[in-house]
Amino acid sequence: MPKHLRQQLMHRLQMPESWVIFFIMGIIMMNFPFMDIFNKASTVLGFPLMFLYLFIGWAMSILVIYLFTIAVGNSDDKHRETNQP
Amino acid sequence: MKAGLVLAAFISLCYTALIFLIALYAHHRKETGRSIIANPYVYSLSIAVYCTTWTFYGSVGRAATIGIDFVLIYLGPTLTAFSWFFVLRRIVRISKENNITSIADFISLRYGKSLWLGALVTLIAILGIMPYIALQIKAVSTSFYLISGFRGESIHLPRGGAEVTLPSGLLLAVILSVFSVIFGARRLVSSERHEGLIAAVAFESLVKLVSLLGVGLFVTYQLFDGFSDIFTRFHKMQPELFARLFTLGSAVNDPDYISSFSMLFMSMGAIMLLPRQFHVMVIENSDESHITKAMWLFPAYLFLINLFVMPIALGGILATGSAVGADFFVINIPLVSGHDGIAMLAFLGGLSAAAGMVMVEAVAISTMLLNHIFMPVIVRFTPQAWFPLLLINLKRLGIFLVIFLGYFYYRIVGDTFMLVNMGLISFSAATQFLPAMLGGLYWRRGNKAGAITGILLGSLTWFYTLLLPSFIRSGWIGADLLASGPFGIGLLKPTALFGLSGMDLWSHSLFWSMLFNIGGYITCSILLRQDEREYDQLRKFTGMFDLSRGYRHAETKRLSKPVTITQFVNLMSKFIGETEARGAIFAYIGDREIDAVGNVSEFELPNLKRFTEKTLAGSVGAAAAGAIVDSFLSDMGSRMESVYDIFSNVKTSLDQSREALFVRLKASEIINRTLDLQIIMDDLLNLLLKEFKLDAVIIQLRTADGDLTVRSYQGTNRRPINQKHWFMESKPYCDMALVDRKAHFVNDTSLAAGTVALERTIGEGIVSCAHIPIFREGEPSLGIMSVFSKSIPGLFTEEFLGLLSSLAGQLAQAVTIVREMEARERERIQKEQAQLEHARVLRDMEIAQQIQMSLLPGSAPELFGIDMAGRCISAAHVGGDYYDFFQYNDHSVDLLIADVSGHSVGAALIMSEVRTLLHAQANSALNASTILQTLNNQLYEDLTRAELFITMFYAKYNSATGRLTYANAGHNQPLVRRTGESSCIRLDAEGLIMGVKKSVVFEERGIELLKGDVVLFYTDGVNEAMNPQGELFGTERICEHLGRVTHLSVTEIIDSFYTTVTEFTESDTLQDDISLVVLKIH
């Protein structure tokens, strides 16, 4: 089942639509009004809220790109003969 | 506390040497073909040239003064990295295909190799990058003062009594320039990758990451107790500042999202559009597949390098008590806390960040400078042998120019701005390329006018609202402009254009410049048309992915006058040197077909031209390369012109266009409709005339003796073909086509006139013609199809000739079939005639036979005491056998039997002559030998002439006496069968065959015939009859048979002989004439 799920995820990530969605999501989350939610001088476990938001969000987006590239790499391996870019 | 000047200088020098060695090693590895930089990790590290001293020192400064929004400068590129899989890969692919050398090259190529656009982009890049380089010089100089302990603008060295004063900024500029020249301008070909430079940059990226992480770890975990410790302590000490730094905007109540958006937007564009970023990401990309990995490696790098910025900034404030000099906290904190080693590491990191950026930037910009500012001027001069040397030195000069412009900006503006704020000016400039770039890649309508207008308006706005104020602030230009606007017009104040205030400097500038830029780009693109050159490029940029689906670009241009390979090579060697030029052309020719003189075919020429442009573009940029080749061609009197599109609206392609298919279909209809070759040829030519707007079309076919004759001639102003006809001038082409079975064509008669005299043809108004051999595969040519056009030079494209050749092939098929049918028809008629002739002869022969038969006596004469009968059966229709009876009175009768040699008509004629002669003598009472003698005499001449002979037996019988006298001229001896005797009596007499000698004496003999005697006269057809076993019938058998049938009547005897002979030969037909005469005494 996890394997099946993983394949499903990889398949979805290969679609250009997914890229666009994440790209737009990134832009939205880096702008008003999303930023306003975290634009507070409070701290969580001693860390400033904005600092946490930006850096965790950043790490997440790197992870997403990483998953994307793995998905693309998969498809490249599979269709190397038929689907030369 | 502080490292001394000497130590600092020494360590810097050692570090520089190390970088130099790394670059040298990378270069060496490349030369030996084992590149160390061709992997995604080095590629990602080289992209990290994005992180300059701005990141290294400036981020901390910004974090300590304004707050966390510095991160947006790195979040932008992370977001952009999402799009790299589509955008960057596409840019890289286009750039590799076209030998792109810089971002100016890329943009100008997209918009029709526009020289103006290239120059404009270059100019903006140089101006825009000035603050950025100044930033680096400022950062390194300051950090050097900090680390070496010297304060001041210059370094004083005691030298020979007098002191030499060296401004360290200037020194740094010189060192960086020399470095850039060594790494980036060794060779002219700038589309080539600089492996040494990239290796150095990647190493420096590694150093600055390690260095900043080192300082971060030191501050966070050595001086303090981890992240939360710093945050908590800072929160306690300065809660207001804490609130300000960790929120966007200047105050909690007034959040400024515009500013953060501007930074995000500018950094998203800058990561691709800054000249150095474009250079490392596109030009220096060694493999498209590296991009995928760099997509997450590079953001991860940014993440790591920024992780400790906030702690360092807070730690700095905690340690020093204020944010003053926050730009250099990275060095100052270790220095203050007494950790010189760490400070030195930080210094090296900063040095790396600056050096890497300046070198790449200088190389990238100097390439643009050379290709788009210097080259357009240079190409106006005639190329000289020393051009390559001039060009490479101009490029080196460009590097110095770029760095020193930065230095001067630093001297002017230097201390008035913080590092990040200087950098943002550059980012804003680079953003001006964004609309033209993205529009160029994805918007088909985007055109040159739009791009130029957009970039020009945008950059003017940028200059006015951002660069100018930076000069004003430094006090270099009077502050009145800033305070009250030009000429006191408040609406035009640079920092509050049209009254727009309340925005920060960069957002304000970004808004106006982007508004004018995008507005100008879109408006002009919609209002104005793309010219043809732009249209050509469009396919390359926006149709990139169609190309990969097997679409082949069909040639739509041709050179009006052919140019040889050598001429192209000479041109190239003037710009890139002879060796490079020859190498390039050899690689190009490769497996291509070249003719005996070393030229490519006319259809290959546009490709060769494009290749030349591409090769030159690798060194001088696409726009300049286009200009060079164009001016070269116009010097040669040649130019590119559109190929006349023979298939009207459908662009010719490798696939059959609909029109071509239609013509083929029509042609095969014409050919199959009839077998009349004349109609086929006329109709086919009329079809060509109608479909292709030709003016004259002629078909010549070979006659039996191999000469060409005009068989069909259609078109305007026809005249009878004779020696003076203009068409005769094309004979050399026809002869050639006939022999080599290839189409020969002249696309411009005025140019071909030098080799073949075509005065009358030109006089007739013909501008292009083609001669296509008519032949079937593997067979000799049957003729030539010639087509002429009066209106369109360059009519004959590869596709069109292909179509014509295929029509000629169909015609050849038809000609062959018709000719074969004609030959068969002829043969049939001949056969019929022969048969007819034969039948006639046969009938004649039958008539002759009938006549001959009628010449023989119908019945034997009646004579008392004897019975006689004779019969002749011819084997052929006419024969040479003859027998006759002459009765003189009641008791005497003459019998004769003769055989003319052969069975020909001649024999029959001789026989009739014999008969005539004999009948003339019949009444005389001459004896047999005299008759034969006379006959021989008379016949000798005729027989000799006809080469014939006669054997004859002549007998005279008197029934009163019963005596038979006879003479023999070589004939078979007749047999006498006498009752009671067992054998036959042979009637023998000496005598020669008639026709051998003129006078022959024949012996006369006689015999008394008794009652019951049967005398048989016969010809050689009887005794020489042969049975299948090869035995002859022979005289013995005749005699025996005669003995058995003596009791029968004479006719029955004759019948029985025929039967017996036929039985003996076991055949229905006779081998020879058989004549028998029987005489029976009773």
The pLDDT value recorded for residue B877 is 63
CA-based nearest distance A40→chain B, Å: 6
Cβ within 8 Å, pair B248-A39: yes
Structure tokens at B1028: 């299948």
Residues B180, B211, single domain; the answer is yes
Residue B835 covered by a domain: no
pLDDT tens profile B686-744: 888 887 778 888 888 888 887 888 888 888 767 777 777 888 888 888 888 888 888 88
The secondary structure element, H or E, covering residue B1069 is none
Q: Alpha-carbon distance B994 to B949, whole Å?
A: 6
Asked if ipTM goes beyond 0.90, one says: no
Q: Alpha-carbon distance B77 to B89, whole Å?
A: 16
Cβ within 8 Å, pair B303-A22: no
Q: Alpha-carbon distance B349 to B346, whole Å?
A: 5
Mutation target to probe the B interface, by most B beta carbons within 10 A, among A28, A50, A82 is: A50
> Which residues does A28 contact at the CB level (< 8 Å), separation at least 6?
A34
**A33 preceded by a cis bond (ω within 30 of 0):** yes
Contact B1004, B926 (CB under 8 A): no
The alpha carbon dihedral of B488, B489, B493, B496 has a sign of positive
**B282: DSSP letter:** I
Residue type, B846: E
Question: Which residues in chain A touch residue B82, judged by CB atoms under 8 angstroms apart?
Answer: 19, 22-23, 26, 65, 68
Strand partners, B1080: B867, B1014
Residue B830 covered by a domain: no
* Alpha-carbon distances, residue B268 vs B82, B103, B283 (angstroms): 11, 16, 19
**B158 preceded by a cis bond (ω within 30 of 0):** no
Helix axis angle for B195-217 and B168-184, nearest 10°, is 130
Q: Alpha-carbon distance B935 to B945, whole Å?
A: 16
Residue B847 covered by a domain: no
Question: Which residues in chain B touch residue A30, judged by CB atoms under 8 angstroms apart?
Answer: 72, 75, 79, 260, 264
**B818: DSSP letter:** H
Q: Alpha-carbon distance B46 to B610, whole Å?
A: 32
CA-based nearest distance B228→chain A, Å: 5
Q: Alpha-carbon distance A47 to B738, whole Å?
A: 91
Residues B337, B467, single domain; the answer is no
Residues B232, B292, single domain; the answer is yes
Residues B810, B722, single domain; the answer is yes
Residues B222, B118, single domain; the answer is yes
Other CB atoms within 10 Å distance of the CB of residue B934: 15
Question: Which residues in chain A touch residue B255, judged by CB atoms under 8 angstroms apart?
Answer: 32, 35-36, 39
Residues B895, B779, single domain; the answer is no
Question: Measured in whole angstroms, how far is the alpha carbon of residue B827 from the centre of its chain?
Answer: 47
Select from B690, B710, B692 the least CA-distant residue to B700: B710
Select from B128, B76, B433 the least CA-distant residue to B263: B76
Residues B978, B1004, single domain; the answer is yes
**B754: DSSP letter:** T
Cβ within 8 Å, pair A48-B248: no
Q: Locate the chain A residue with the closest alpha carbon to B229.
A: A46
Cβ within 8 Å, pair A50-B78: no
Contact B57, B143 (CB under 8 A): yes
Select from B544, B253, B184 the least CA-distant residue to B399: B184
> Which residues does B682 contact at the CB level (< 8 Å), separation at least 6?
B712, B714
Q: How many CB pairs under 8 A join A and B?
A: 111
The pLDDT value recorded for residue B552 is 41
Check which CATH number belongs to the domain holding B305 and give it.
1.20.1730.10
**Out of A23, A54, A85, closest to residue B82 by CB:** A23
The contact set of B with A (CB < 8 A) is: 68, 71-72, 74-75, 78-79, 81-83, 85-86, 89, 227-228, 231-232, 235, 242-243, 246-249, 252, 255, 257, 260-261, 264, 288, 292-293, 295-296, 299-300, 303, 307, 310, 548
Helix (H, G, I), strand (E, B) or coil at B640: strand
Q: Locate the chain B residue with the closest alpha carbon to A22.
A: B82
Structure tokens at B552: 């082949």
Reading phi first (left if > 0) and then psi (alpha if -120 to 50, else beta), residue B980 is in: left
Q: Structural domain tally of chain B?
A: 5
Q: Alpha-carbon distance B220 to B712, whole Å?
A: 98
Q: Which residue has the tokens 């998905």?
A: A71
Cβ within 8 Å, pair B292-A73: yes
Residues B309, B453, single domain; the answer is no
The pLDDT value recorded for residue B213 is 92
Sequence ranges of the domains in chain A: 2-78
Residues B897, B1018, single domain; the answer is yes
The pLDDT value recorded for residue B254 is 53
Domain hosting B748: range is: 658-824
Mutation target to probe the B interface, by most B beta carbons within 10 A, among A38, A51, A70, A76 is: A51
Residue B32 covered by a domain: yes
Contact B327, B57 (CB under 8 A): yes
Structure tokens at B75: 């979040």
The secondary structure element, H or E, covering residue B1011 is none
Burial (0-12, 13-18, 19+ Cβ within 10 Å), B31: exposed
CA-based nearest distance B119→chain A, Å: 33
E strands present in B1019-1066: none
Q: Alpha-carbon distance B128 to B106, whole Å?
A: 18
Residues B176, B231, single domain; the answer is yes
> Which residues does B549 contact at the CB level (< 8 Å), separation at least 6?
none
Q: Which regions of chain B are under pLDDT 70? A: 1-4, 149-166, 186-192, 249-256, 414-418, 543-562, 591-603, 637-659, 717, 753-754, 876-877, 923-924
Residues B806, B701, single domain; the answer is yes
Residue finishing a domain among B577, B611, B642: B642
Residues B579, B688, single domain; the answer is no
Residue B722 covered by a domain: yes
Q: Which regions of chain A are under pLDDT 70? A: 1, 74-85
